[in-house]
Structure 1
Amino acid sequence: MREQGGEPTPALRDFYENPAVPVASGDARSRRQARLLAAALAATPGALVVDVGCGDGTAAAVAGPILAGHRIVGVDWSQDALRRAQPRIGQVVRGALDDGGLPFADGCADAVLFSEVVEHLVDPDAALDELRRILRPGGHLMLSTPNLAAWYNRGLLLAGVQPVFSEVSLRGIHGRPGTEVVGHLRLFTSRALRSFLLSAGFEDVQITGAPFHGVPRGLRLIDRAACSVPSTASILLAHARRR
């Protein structure tokens, strides 16, 4: 959400500072991601987990009991988000995703949570460089992002309809289902996400799926079933290790 080496553009800054813009991505995704991370950190008691782009802290609050015994620190550049997150997380700091923008020493973190952030970024390559910098060698990156190739998006594209999660404006919805503008700038398929992480200096990339809380109730069984085939799931959960 930052331009290279500078502050966010005024339009993006105002958009993401608006408390009405959704920042939570659904408890099911948060629980799945936390369970994956808890398993990965089983041999690392008292690990430092940095939740980058913590938003209002809802996801970290859901993950907290699953990650009991580990220290979670929330990071966001939005002062309003940090104000709302502090009661839920406890320890929060302001930071950004450009070179040296995260207030952590090189190699200090055992794990980074990066949940539904990468799709909002102007420069995702610089962001991954910064996450890699603060992770120790072998440290864990847990990234989640909406899936451009989700099962329903495949049908929508065949029908000539704009896919869910994609947006052409910060002012309104145009040509796709849904009513909320959330500011997505980047979209990934499972294949693209794996390639992106490998090129950014990560290895052992494992991708699983998670459901999307915005799927209509009558379609949620299908959405949960699609998680067994991650390339068709609503949400992509990636677990990778820093080289």
Structure 2
Amino acid sequence: MPDHAPGLRDFYENPAVPVASGDARSRRQARLLAAALPTPGALVVDVGCGDGTAAATAGPILAGHRIVGVDWSQDALRRARSRLMHVVRGELDHGGLPFADGSADAVLFSEVIEHLVDPDAALDELRRILRPGGHLMVSTPNLAAWYNRGLLLAGWQPVFSEVSLRGIHGRPGTEVVGHLRLYTARALRSFLRSAGFDDVRITGAPFHGVPRGLRLVDRAACAVPSAASILLAHARRR
């Protein structure tokens, strides 16, 4: 649910643009959150829920908690309604999420932050709806993933980065997904702390798009989050 200009709005409303991520990171993120929410009945808001696949994957792990999916895209919400019981429309500007201040126990923010024009305002809005001490779970591609380090040395554009919304140029892959910003583990940790979150812990997750022959390497890289394909950050609202 990016905060985007009119041209980007059209891009994200295109049904051909992917709105789902890999199941592995969704399960890892859900297990981290389940361990942090031992008491049933928490309100978990999946901001940028896309087609609801990630929240549906997390649902059994977060049993006993109420998950509400939020997205800007009407097309994504239409698909999410077949997977989630509670779905609402919202935006990441000031007051754009339909929740009262401090009403959410946790926010899932999966594969969204890399699409944002103004991530600062987005984190302000997430912090607004979280209660003090509430949990923020962020997942985003890692600019410094193990293979991106090699690609840069060879003069290639890093995986996950894009220079155009019309095609892929200078990097492996064929799918345009609209990434505007990329983070390293160090940058993501610093950014979350500056936005009013503490106890930032970052772990790694594999990327479903890694070629089959390299998936064992990709899973092994998760042991070193700064080199993993996907960054999973768990932070608490200050």
TM over 0.5: yes
Output aligned runs, 1:137-148, within 5 Å: 137-148=132-143
1:25 CA displacement: 1.2
Q: Distance in 2 between matches of 1:10 and 1:140?
A: 32
The answer for the alignment partner of 1:25 in structure 2 is 21
The answer for the alignment partner of 2:48 in structure 1 is 53
Output aligned runs, 1:179-198, within 5 Å: 179-198=174-193
Q: Distance in 2 between matches of 1:214 and 1:159?
A: 20
Q: Distance in 2 between matches of 1:201 and 1:10?
A: 30
Deviations 1:33-63 (A, max 9, x none): 0000000101x31100000000000001100
Q: Distance in 2 between matches of 1:210 and 1:168?
A: 25
Using the size of structure 2 for normalisation, the TM-score is: 0.99
1:152 CA displacement: 0.1
Residue of 200, 209, 227 corresponding to 1:205: 200
Q: Distance in 2 between matches of 1:207 and 1:240?
A: 9
Q: Distance in 2 between matches of 1:77 and 1:23?
A: 12
The answer for the alignment partner of 1:41 in structure 2 is 37
| Matching residue's letter, 1:61 | A
Structure 1: 4+ residue segments shifted above 2 A? none
Q: Is residue 122 of structure 1 aligned with residue 120 of structure 2?
A: no
| Matching residue's letter, 1:125 | D
Q: Distance in 2 between matches of 1:172 and 1:34?
A: 33
Q: Distance in 1 between matches of 2:85 and 2:78?
A: 11
1:90 CA displacement: 1.2
Gaps of 5+ in 1: 3-7
Q: Distance in 2 between matches of 1:179 and 1:190?
A: 26
| Matching residue's letter, 1:132 | R
Q: Is residue 86 of structure 1 aligned with residue 86 of structure 2?
A: no
The answer for the alignment partner of 2:9 in structure 1 is 13
1:24 CA displacement: 1.2
Q: Distance in 1 between matches of 2:123 and 2:162?
A: 23
Gaps of 5+ in 2: none
| Matching residue's letter, 2:225 | P
The answer for the alignment partner of 1:160 in structure 2 is 155
| Matching residue's letter, 1:129 | D
Identity of aligned residues (%): 89
1:232 CA displacement: 0.1
1:72 CA displacement: 0.2
| Matching residue's letter, 2:9 | R
| Matching residue's letter, 2:100 | A
Alignment: residue pair count: 237
1:87 CA displacement: 1.4
1:19 CA displacement: 1.0
Q: Distance in 2 between matches of 1:226 and 1:23?
A: 25
Q: Distance in 1 between matches of 2:104 and 2:31?
A: 18
Aligned-residue Cα RMSD (Å) equals 0.5
Using the size of structure 1 for normalisation, the TM-score is: 0.97
1:10 CA displacement: 2.0
Deviations 1:80-111 (A, max 9, x none): 10010011011100000010000000000000
1:23 CA displacement: 1.2
